Amino acid sequence: NPLKSAEFLISAARPAQFPADELPEVAFAGRSNAGKSSALNRLTEQKNLARISKTPGRTQLINFFQLTGGQRLVDLPGYGYAKVPPAVKEKWARLIESYLQKRGNLVGLIHIMDVRHPMKPFDEQMLEFANAIDCPVHILLTKADKLKRGQQAKQRQIVRNAIGESASVQLFSAESGQGTEEARAVVAGWLGL
């Protein structure tokens, strides 16, 4: 597993704090509670990798993880915690947007959605941001273990129809491991691993 060497590098609150080099990065995005941390932990085979992103004070930051070759996995702040005031949500959206628009290192975006609740407004916004900068997008419909196979396929088709040719999409489960190899191959391919 080429992603297993991931180690926490740095948390950034603004672009000046992003690592200043040319190394490639794959970013991970999703609404809060979609299952992004669990997906990151499963892909890297580390139980607690993404826990750092959930510690108080870091949930609104961009967290960078480094692989042995220097390539990075980037955990974008989860969007939509219900109890957060609108001004803070606005700040998150701006930070994510500034990352996507200015980050030459970005070679691909993994967008994570709960298979039962895909394509909410934040998801649409992320896909539009990525499209605007010509960034490849691969969607993980996670928590697939919560649905029967037939329903999984139906949800996948709904998303497929909504995104057209602009992204690829697969079923995933951090719980059962479904789709792990496929997702890892996409990330590794983007990073040249």
CB of 186 to ligand GDP, least distance (A): 17
Q: Which of residues 122-181 bind ligand GDP (CB under 6 A)?
A: 142-143, 145-146, 173-175
Measure the CA–CA gap between 39 and 41, rounded to whole angstroms: 5
Q: Which residues pair with 106 in a beta bridge?
A: 25
Measure the CA–CA gap between 140 and 183, rounded to whole angstroms: 8
Could you say which of 2, 24, 35, 77 contacts ligand GDP (CB under 6 A)?
35
For residue 117, the surrounding DSSP H or E stretch is none
Q: Which of residues 92-111 bind ligand GDP (CB under 6 A)?
A: none
Specify whether the CB–CB gap between 78 and 31 falls below 8 A: yes
Measure the CA–CA gap between 94 and 78, rounded to whole angstroms: 13
CB of 35 to ligand GDP, least distance (A): 3
Is the Cα dihedral 6, 159, 62, 56 positive or negative? negative
Q: Which residues pair with 79 in a beta bridge?
A: 31
Could you say which of 26, 27, 34, 49 contacts ligand GDP (CB under 6 A)?
34
Measure the CA–CA gap between 56 and 27, rounded to whole angstroms: 21
Q: Is 182 in the site for ligand GDP (CB under 6 A)?
A: no
Q: Compare residues 143 and 156 and give the one whose CB is closer to ligand GDP.
A: 143
Q: Compare residues 23 and 147 and give the one whose CB is closer to ligand GDP.
A: 147
Q: What 8-state DSSP symbol labels residue 22?
A: -
Q: Is 78 in the site for ligand GDP (CB under 6 A)?
A: yes
Could you say which of 5, 11, 32, 60 contacts ligand GDP (CB under 6 A)?
32
CB of 145 to ligand GDP, least distance (A): 5
Which residues of the shown chain bind ligand GDP in the complex (CB under 6 A)?
30, 32-38, 78, 142-143, 145-146, 173-175
